[in-house]
Amino acid sequence: MADRLILQDPRKQYPKPPFPKQPQSAPGLVARMDPAPDHGETSYKGSGRLAGRKALITGGDSGIGRAAAIAYAREGADVAISYLPAEEKDAVEVIALIEAEGRKAAALPGDVSEEAWSRELVAKAVTALGGLDILVINAGRQQYRDSIAEVSSEDFDKTLKTNLYALHWIAQAAVPHLPPGASVITTASIQAYEPSAILLDYATTKAGIVAYTKALAKQLIDKGIRVNAVAPGPFWTVLQPSGGQPDEKVEQFGEHSAFGRPGQPVEIAPVYVLLASQEGSYITGEVYGVTGGAGIA
Protein backbone atom coordinates (compact mmCIF):
# COMPACT_ATOMS: atom_id res chain seq x y z
CA MET A 1 0.00 0.00 0.00
CA ALA A 2 1.28 3.45 -0.90
CA ASP A 3 2.27 5.71 1.95
CA ARG A 4 -0.54 7.96 3.05
CA LEU A 5 -0.09 11.60 2.09
CA ILE A 6 0.40 13.71 5.20
CA LEU A 7 -1.83 16.78 5.08
CA GLN A 8 -0.27 20.13 5.91
CA ASP A 9 -1.91 23.36 6.95
CA PRO A 10 -0.93 25.67 4.06
CA ARG A 11 -0.86 28.65 6.41
CA LYS A 12 1.96 27.04 8.39
CA GLN A 13 3.74 25.15 5.63
CA TYR A 14 6.41 27.80 5.02
CA PRO A 15 7.98 30.74 6.92
CA LYS A 16 5.90 33.78 7.80
CA PRO A 17 7.06 37.35 8.27
CA PRO A 18 8.64 39.20 9.89
CA PHE A 19 11.81 38.39 7.96
CA PRO A 20 15.32 39.75 8.60
CA LYS A 21 16.55 42.84 6.80
CA GLN A 22 18.43 41.67 3.71
CA PRO A 23 18.92 44.36 1.09
CA GLN A 24 21.12 43.44 -1.85
CA SER A 25 21.86 45.06 -5.17
CA ALA A 26 20.07 43.93 -8.32
CA PRO A 27 19.96 41.38 -9.81
CA GLY A 28 20.53 39.64 -6.46
CA LEU A 29 21.50 36.10 -5.47
CA VAL A 30 19.42 33.35 -3.88
CA ALA A 31 22.22 32.41 -1.44
CA ARG A 32 21.84 35.76 0.33
CA MET A 33 18.14 35.32 1.12
CA ASP A 34 16.94 34.58 4.65
CA PRO A 35 14.94 32.41 4.92
CA ALA A 36 16.12 30.46 1.88
CA PRO A 37 13.39 30.10 -0.75
CA ASP A 38 12.10 26.64 -1.63
CA HIS A 39 12.40 26.20 -5.40
CA GLY A 40 11.78 22.46 -5.14
CA GLU A 41 15.44 21.48 -4.77
CA THR A 42 14.42 18.61 -2.47
CA SER A 43 10.65 19.02 -2.27
CA TYR A 44 9.48 18.67 -5.89
CA LYS A 45 8.81 15.09 -6.99
CA GLY A 46 8.33 14.40 -10.69
CA SER A 47 6.27 11.75 -12.48
CA GLY A 48 7.42 11.85 -16.10
CA ARG A 49 4.76 14.27 -17.34
CA LEU A 50 7.23 16.05 -19.67
CA ALA A 51 9.34 13.09 -20.76
CA GLY A 52 11.39 13.91 -23.84
CA ARG A 53 10.32 17.56 -23.99
CA LYS A 54 12.72 20.46 -24.65
CA ALA A 55 12.26 23.69 -22.69
CA LEU A 56 13.78 27.16 -22.69
CA ILE A 57 13.18 29.20 -19.52
CA THR A 58 14.29 32.81 -19.23
CA GLY A 59 15.23 33.94 -15.75
CA GLY A 60 15.82 30.29 -14.88
CA ASP A 61 18.52 30.88 -12.29
CA SER A 62 16.27 31.93 -9.40
CA GLY A 63 12.71 32.43 -8.23
CA ILE A 64 9.83 31.10 -10.27
CA GLY A 65 12.03 30.37 -13.29
CA ARG A 66 14.32 28.22 -11.16
CA ALA A 67 11.36 26.33 -9.72
CA ALA A 68 10.01 25.67 -13.22
CA ALA A 69 13.43 24.47 -14.40
CA ILE A 70 13.75 22.01 -11.53
CA ALA A 71 10.20 20.77 -11.99
CA TYR A 72 10.61 20.34 -15.75
CA ALA A 73 13.79 18.30 -15.30
CA ARG A 74 12.12 16.12 -12.66
CA GLU A 75 9.26 15.59 -15.11
CA GLY A 76 11.69 14.39 -17.77
CA ALA A 77 12.45 17.46 -19.91
CA ASP A 78 15.77 18.78 -21.15
CA VAL A 79 16.10 22.42 -20.06
CA ALA A 80 17.97 25.53 -21.21
CA ILE A 81 18.00 28.51 -18.86
CA SER A 82 18.87 32.12 -19.63
CA TYR A 83 20.08 34.53 -16.96
CA LEU A 84 22.27 37.58 -16.44
CA PRO A 85 26.02 36.93 -16.20
CA ALA A 86 25.96 38.34 -12.64
CA GLU A 87 23.64 35.48 -11.69
CA GLU A 88 26.13 32.77 -12.69
CA LYS A 89 26.46 31.41 -9.14
CA ASP A 90 22.73 30.67 -8.95
CA ALA A 91 22.64 29.35 -12.52
CA VAL A 92 25.40 26.81 -11.84
CA GLU A 93 23.26 25.32 -9.06
CA VAL A 94 20.26 24.98 -11.36
CA ILE A 95 22.29 23.37 -14.14
CA ALA A 96 23.62 20.81 -11.64
CA LEU A 97 20.09 20.01 -10.46
CA ILE A 98 18.89 19.48 -14.05
CA GLU A 99 21.83 17.23 -14.87
CA ALA A 100 21.30 15.28 -11.64
CA GLU A 101 18.02 14.09 -13.15
CA GLY A 102 19.90 12.73 -16.17
CA ARG A 103 18.56 15.49 -18.38
CA LYS A 104 20.39 17.73 -20.83
CA ALA A 105 21.02 21.24 -19.48
CA ALA A 106 22.13 24.40 -21.30
CA ALA A 107 23.34 27.59 -19.61
CA LEU A 108 22.73 30.76 -21.63
CA PRO A 109 24.05 33.90 -19.89
CA GLY A 110 23.11 37.25 -21.42
CA ASP A 111 20.80 40.26 -21.13
CA VAL A 112 17.34 39.80 -22.68
CA SER A 113 16.84 43.57 -22.76
CA GLU A 114 19.16 43.46 -25.79
CA GLU A 115 17.31 42.42 -28.93
CA ALA A 116 20.24 40.64 -30.56
CA TRP A 117 20.79 38.45 -27.51
CA SER A 118 17.07 37.66 -27.08
CA ARG A 119 17.02 36.25 -30.60
CA GLU A 120 20.39 34.54 -30.30
CA LEU A 121 19.49 32.72 -27.10
CA VAL A 122 16.58 31.01 -28.87
CA ALA A 123 18.93 29.76 -31.60
CA LYS A 124 21.43 28.58 -28.99
CA ALA A 125 18.72 26.74 -27.03
CA VAL A 126 17.45 24.99 -30.17
CA THR A 127 20.98 23.87 -31.02
CA ALA A 128 21.82 22.75 -27.48
CA LEU A 129 18.60 20.82 -26.93
CA GLY A 130 18.05 19.58 -30.48
CA GLY A 131 14.75 21.42 -30.76
CA LEU A 132 12.25 23.38 -28.67
CA ASP A 133 8.67 22.66 -27.63
CA ILE A 134 8.26 24.52 -24.32
CA LEU A 135 9.01 28.24 -24.04
CA VAL A 136 8.73 29.95 -20.65
CA ILE A 137 9.30 33.71 -20.92
CA ASN A 138 9.77 34.64 -17.31
CA ALA A 139 12.76 36.97 -16.81
CA GLY A 140 11.71 40.24 -15.24
CA ARG A 141 12.93 43.55 -13.86
CA GLN A 142 11.26 45.08 -10.79
CA GLN A 143 12.68 48.19 -9.10
CA TYR A 144 10.37 50.22 -6.89
CA ARG A 145 10.18 54.01 -7.07
CA ASP A 146 8.24 56.08 -4.53
CA SER A 147 6.84 58.57 -7.03
CA ILE A 148 6.38 59.16 -10.75
CA ALA A 149 9.07 61.84 -10.51
CA GLU A 150 11.62 59.15 -9.65
CA VAL A 151 10.83 56.87 -12.60
CA SER A 152 13.48 57.97 -15.06
CA SER A 153 13.34 57.34 -18.79
CA GLU A 154 16.23 54.94 -18.26
CA ASP A 155 14.18 53.04 -15.64
CA PHE A 156 11.11 52.90 -17.84
CA ASP A 157 13.10 51.82 -20.89
CA LYS A 158 14.99 49.06 -19.05
CA THR A 159 11.86 47.65 -17.43
CA LEU A 160 9.87 47.64 -20.67
CA LYS A 161 12.71 46.08 -22.62
CA THR A 162 13.34 43.37 -20.04
CA ASN A 163 9.70 42.49 -19.34
CA LEU A 164 7.85 43.28 -22.56
CA TYR A 165 10.14 43.84 -25.54
CA ALA A 166 12.08 40.68 -24.73
CA LEU A 167 8.81 38.74 -24.64
CA HIS A 168 8.16 39.81 -28.23
CA TRP A 169 11.71 39.23 -29.47
CA ILE A 170 11.99 35.78 -27.91
CA ALA A 171 8.53 34.63 -28.96
CA GLN A 172 9.08 35.90 -32.50
CA ALA A 173 12.39 34.03 -32.76
CA ALA A 174 10.99 30.85 -31.19
CA VAL A 175 7.72 30.38 -33.07
CA PRO A 176 9.32 29.02 -36.29
CA HIS A 177 10.91 26.26 -34.19
CA LEU A 178 7.81 25.26 -32.22
CA PRO A 179 5.90 22.19 -33.45
CA PRO A 180 2.17 21.53 -33.03
CA GLY A 181 1.62 20.55 -29.41
CA ALA A 182 4.21 23.03 -28.14
CA SER A 183 3.45 25.41 -25.29
CA VAL A 184 4.38 29.04 -24.61
CA ILE A 185 4.03 30.28 -21.02
CA THR A 186 4.52 33.86 -19.88
CA THR A 187 4.78 35.25 -16.36
CA ALA A 188 2.38 38.10 -15.64
CA SER A 189 1.51 39.21 -12.09
CA ILE A 190 -1.29 40.28 -9.82
CA GLN A 191 0.25 43.69 -10.50
CA ALA A 192 -1.49 43.60 -13.89
CA TYR A 193 -4.82 43.77 -12.04
CA GLU A 194 -4.02 45.42 -8.68
CA PRO A 195 -0.98 47.62 -9.36
CA SER A 196 1.08 48.96 -6.48
CA ALA A 197 1.74 52.70 -6.47
CA ILE A 198 5.50 52.13 -6.20
CA LEU A 199 5.66 49.71 -9.16
CA LEU A 200 4.43 52.01 -11.90
CA ASP A 201 6.59 50.73 -14.77
CA TYR A 202 6.61 47.09 -13.60
CA ALA A 203 2.82 46.90 -13.29
CA THR A 204 2.45 48.47 -16.74
CA THR A 205 4.57 45.73 -18.29
CA LYS A 206 2.65 42.98 -16.51
CA ALA A 207 -0.66 44.28 -17.87
CA GLY A 208 0.97 44.33 -21.29
CA ILE A 209 2.07 40.71 -20.88
CA VAL A 210 -1.54 39.66 -20.23
CA ALA A 211 -2.78 41.35 -23.40
CA TYR A 212 0.13 40.10 -25.51
CA THR A 213 -0.35 36.55 -24.28
CA LYS A 214 -4.06 36.49 -25.08
CA ALA A 215 -3.47 37.94 -28.55
CA LEU A 216 -0.63 35.53 -29.29
CA ALA A 217 -2.77 32.60 -28.16
CA LYS A 218 -5.34 33.50 -30.81
CA GLN A 219 -2.63 33.52 -33.48
CA LEU A 220 -0.74 30.39 -32.54
CA ILE A 221 -3.62 27.99 -31.96
CA ASP A 222 -3.83 27.89 -35.76
CA LYS A 223 -0.42 26.20 -35.58
CA GLY A 224 -1.46 23.88 -32.75
CA ILE A 225 0.58 25.87 -30.21
CA ARG A 226 -0.95 26.83 -26.87
CA VAL A 227 -0.10 30.13 -25.12
CA ASN A 228 -0.95 30.94 -21.51
CA ALA A 229 0.14 33.21 -18.67
CA VAL A 230 0.68 32.66 -14.97
CA ALA A 231 -0.04 35.60 -12.65
CA PRO A 232 1.74 35.22 -9.30
CA GLY A 233 0.96 37.16 -6.18
CA PRO A 234 3.57 37.69 -3.43
CA PHE A 235 6.26 35.03 -3.92
CA TRP A 236 9.47 34.83 -1.91
CA THR A 237 12.01 35.41 -4.68
CA VAL A 238 15.27 37.32 -4.96
CA LEU A 239 13.45 39.95 -7.02
CA GLN A 240 12.00 41.38 -3.79
CA PRO A 241 15.05 42.18 -1.59
CA SER A 242 17.18 43.32 -4.55
CA GLY A 243 15.25 46.56 -5.08
CA GLY A 244 11.84 45.13 -5.93
CA GLN A 245 10.39 46.33 -2.62
CA PRO A 246 11.46 48.77 0.12
CA ASP A 247 13.35 47.08 2.97
CA GLU A 248 10.46 47.49 5.40
CA LYS A 249 8.08 45.77 2.96
CA VAL A 250 10.51 42.88 2.47
CA GLU A 251 10.50 42.36 6.24
CA GLN A 252 6.68 41.97 6.16
CA PHE A 253 6.41 40.46 2.68
CA GLY A 254 3.29 38.35 2.17
CA GLU A 255 1.68 39.19 5.52
CA HIS A 256 -1.46 40.53 3.83
CA SER A 257 -2.13 37.36 1.83
CA ALA A 258 -4.90 35.06 3.03
CA PHE A 259 -2.15 32.70 4.22
CA GLY A 260 -0.27 35.36 6.18
CA ARG A 261 2.90 34.49 4.30
CA PRO A 262 4.45 34.72 0.82
CA GLY A 263 4.28 31.83 -1.58
CA GLN A 264 7.37 29.74 -2.19
CA PRO A 265 8.46 29.23 -5.82
CA VAL A 266 7.89 25.46 -5.64
CA GLU A 267 4.22 26.13 -4.90
CA ILE A 268 3.67 27.65 -8.35
CA ALA A 269 5.82 25.19 -10.32
CA PRO A 270 2.96 22.67 -10.80
CA VAL A 271 1.01 25.29 -12.76
CA TYR A 272 3.91 25.71 -15.18
CA VAL A 273 4.05 21.91 -15.50
CA LEU A 274 0.34 21.66 -16.24
CA LEU A 275 0.43 24.37 -18.89
CA ALA A 276 3.44 22.74 -20.58
CA SER A 277 2.09 19.19 -20.45
CA GLN A 278 -0.31 17.29 -22.67
CA GLU A 279 -2.73 17.31 -19.74
CA GLY A 280 -3.25 21.00 -20.50
CA SER A 281 -4.21 20.25 -24.10
CA TYR A 282 -7.45 22.30 -24.01
CA ILE A 283 -5.97 25.31 -22.23
CA THR A 284 -4.96 28.38 -24.20
CA GLY A 285 -5.34 32.15 -23.85
CA GLU A 286 -5.78 31.77 -20.10
CA VAL A 287 -4.25 33.62 -17.15
CA TYR A 288 -3.72 31.39 -14.11
CA GLY A 289 -3.67 33.38 -10.89
CA VAL A 290 -1.63 32.00 -8.00
CA THR A 291 -2.03 34.92 -5.65
CA GLY A 292 -2.40 33.58 -2.13
CA GLY A 293 -6.13 34.15 -2.13
CA ALA A 294 -6.27 37.62 -3.70
CA GLY A 295 -7.59 36.41 -7.05
CA ILE A 296 -7.33 38.24 -10.35
CA ALA A 297 -10.03 40.32 -12.02
Q: Which of 232, 215, 228 is nearest to 281 (CA)?
A: 228
Q: Which of 280, 247, 278 is nearest to 17 (CA)?
A: 247
Which residues have CB under 8 Å from 285's CB, separation 6+?
Answer: 213, 214, 217, 218, 221, 227, 228
193 catalytic residue (yes or no): no
For residues 140 and 204, the answer to whether their CB atoms sit within 8 Å is no
How far is Cα 95 from Cα 70, in angstroms, rounded to an integer?
A: 9
Q: Across the chain, which distance is largest between two alpha carbons, in Å?
A: 63
Catalytic residue among 202, 212, 272, 288: 202
Query: CA angle at residue 151 from 146 to 155, to 5 degrees?
Result: 125
How far is Cα 196 from Cα 212, in angstroms, rounded to an integer?
A: 21
Q: Which of 234, 238, 236 is nearest to 264 (CA)?
A: 236
In a 13 Å sphere around the CA of 24, the CA atoms on its Cβ side amount to: 19
For residues 159 and 201, the answer to whether their CB atoms sit within 8 Å is yes
C-alpha distances out from residue 73 to 78, 105, 151, 217, 246, Å: 6, 9, 39, 25, 34
- The catalytic site residues sit at 202
